[in-house]
Structures are given as structure tokens and as C-alpha cells.
């Protein structure tokens, strides 16, 4: 599971893009997470 809690983004000009955003992402299988990381490693130059 990936969890974000209270995420915010404020730009240099003071504009607030995100304020107190929270969400969770559940994966049905650990295989998906392993494949995601394996794919990320292949992207490196």
C-alpha cells in the first residue's frame, strides 16, 4: 500500500496547488510492486 497524508504544494508565486491532500493506493498483488521497481531500474541510463 502507498499512503499520502496531508500532502501540499505551494508554488514560488504563492499559489497553492494542493492543500492537505490524503489518499491510499492498495495493490492486489505484491508482484505489481516488484514489477514496478524492476521497470524503474531499467529506465536508468
The predicted model gives 22-38 an average pLDDT of 69
Smallest Cα–Cα separation from 21: which of 34, 2, 4?
Answer: 4
- The phi, psi pair for 3, rounded to 5°, reads -130, 130
- Compute φ and ψ for 21, nearest 5 degrees: -80, 130
If pLDDT is split at 50, 70 and 90, which confidence band does 29 have?
low
How many domains does the chain fold into?
Answer: 1
pLDDT band at 28 (very low <50, low <70, confident <90, very high): low
- Min mean pLDDT across 6-15, 22-31, 35-44 is at 35-44
Range(s) of the domain holding residue 32: 2-42
Amino acid at each position: 500500500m502507498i499512503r499520502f497524508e496531508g500532502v501540499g504544494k505551494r508554488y514560488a508565486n504563492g499559489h497553492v496547488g494542493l492543500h492537505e491532500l490524503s489518499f491510499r493506493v492498495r495493490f492486489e498483488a505484491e508482484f505489481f510492486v516488484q514489477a514496478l521497481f524492476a521497470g524503474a531500474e531499467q529506465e536508468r541510463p
